[in-house]
Amino acid sequence: MIKRTNKTKSISSIIPNVLNPVKKKSNKIMEIKLNWNKILNDNLSKFSFPNKIYKFNNKKTLEISVQEEKLIEITYNSDFIKREINRFYGHEHIELIKFKKKSIKY
């Protein structure tokens, strides 16, 4: 038999410690993912999807997955995409956009 040295904790006291770090890190990317069709027009949002936000050379960078056949078209519109995301937030939230070719299932 194992002796317990710590008191048991209720689940309600553990949940905030687990969820708060997840909520802080993924809140912005989740917001972008949920509103992707509203942020961009249908021509761009149908063939692309945001993956993650990370720091690259001290700049907030958004990584977007794009279908290979539409990669050039969407890359050409990167300034428009950045402008629309920042307009959605009301301030400069994304400074750089990186594209990743990927097969996306819809």
Q: Give the number of other Cβ atoms within 10 Å of residue 52's Cβ.
A: 16
In a domain, 15, yes or no: no
Give per-residue pLDDT as tens, 13-66: 777 776 665 555 558 888 999 999 999 888 888 999 999 999 999 999 999 999
The verdict on residue 45 lying in a domain is yes
In a domain, 13, yes or no: no
- What is the C-alpha to C-alpha distance for residues 25 and 69, in angstroms, rounded to an integer? 32
- Structural domain includes residue 85: yes
Domain count, the chain: 1
pTM of this prediction?
0.70
pLDDT at 106: 53
Answer yes or no: is 75 within a domain. yes
Helix (H, G, I), strand (E, B) or coil at 41: coil
Q: Is 105 exposed, middle or buried (0-12, 13-18, 19+ CB in 10 A)?
A: exposed
pLDDT at 22: 54
Residue 66 lies in a domain: yes
Q: Does a structural domain hold residue 55?
A: yes
Domain with 65 in it: 21-101
Region 79-92 average pLDDT: 92
